[in-house]
Amino acid sequence: MEEARQRRALLSNLAAIRARAHISQQTIARRLRTSQPAIARLEAGAVDPRLSTVQRYAASVGKRVEWILVDDK
């Protein structure tokens, strides 16, 4: 459950960054060479994206992903 919540939060953050930058889902789709509906599903958390997809999405909005490992609770 926690993993799904964290994934949704990450994808929601990416969508918010995109929206603040006034970049459309269609533009992101072109940059990632995919479809706008695929971007909509990604941002909605309807799919479990590959790490490389998250990295490419972040790069398409001028960001990079940093991974941090923490102790399990």
Domain boundaries along the sequence of the chain: 2-60
Which amino acid is residue 17, in one-letter code? I
Q: What is the pTM of this model?
A: 0.86
Sign of CA dihedral 41, 59, 21, 29: negative
Distance of CA 46 to the CA centre of its chain: 11
> What pLDDT score was predicted for residue 3?
87
Q: Please, what is the end-to-end C-alpha distance for the chain in angstroms? A: 14
- Kindly report the CATH number that applies to the domain delimited by 2-60: 1.10.260.40
Q: What is the pLDDT of residues 29-69, one digit of tens each?
A: 999 999 999 999 999 999 999 999 999 999 999 999 998 88
Q: Is it the case that residue 5 has pLDDT exceeding 80?
A: yes
Q: What angle do CA 15, 29, 14 make, to 5 degrees?
A: 15
**If we measure between CA atoms, which residue out of 62, 48, 52, 70 comes closest to residue 14?**
62
